[in-house]
Amino acid sequence: MKSQAMKSTLLVCGLLASLVRFDAGALGRLLFNLGVSNVPGPQQPFYLLGTRLRLLSCVAPVADGVGLTIGVASYYGTIGLFPTACRTIVPDTAFLAGCVN
């Protein structure tokens, strides 16, 4: 049996795929090709068996027709950007990473 969180995630992914395929008028262009998702994390340190969590990360799924998604996660005064790219649409992810300062 799937958890409620898993069901919600699958629903959102399905809706995202439907939106991407939606015909936006006579031109038939995609509504978007970049997705950004923010995952606000705790602003106090978390510990597991006495060891402090050093990084909170996330993965934003790529849907058909979307070239790039960027998951943004914050934790304990830091922020991280976690891109997921379609290799066909965004072939040079190293260049993309180098553009972020």
Whether 28 shows a pLDDT value over 80: the answer reads: no
Whether 39 shows a pLDDT value over 60: the answer reads: yes
Average pLDDT score over residue span 62-84: 87
- The Cα-based distances of 10 to 19, 50, 63 in angstroms read 14, 34, 12
Q: How confident is the model at residue 26 (pLDDT cuts 50, 70, 90)?
A: very low
pTM over 0.75: no
Q: How confident is the model at residue 78 (pLDDT cuts 50, 70, 90)?
A: very high
Vertex 55, ends 54 and 60: CA angle to 5°? Answer: 170
Average pLDDT score over residue span 4-28: 58
Q: Pick the closest to residue 37 from 64, 73, 10 (CA basis).
A: 73
Biggest CA pair distance of the chain: 59
Residues contacting residue 35 through CB under 8 Å, at least 6 positions apart: 16, 60, 62, 63, 66, 68, 69, 70
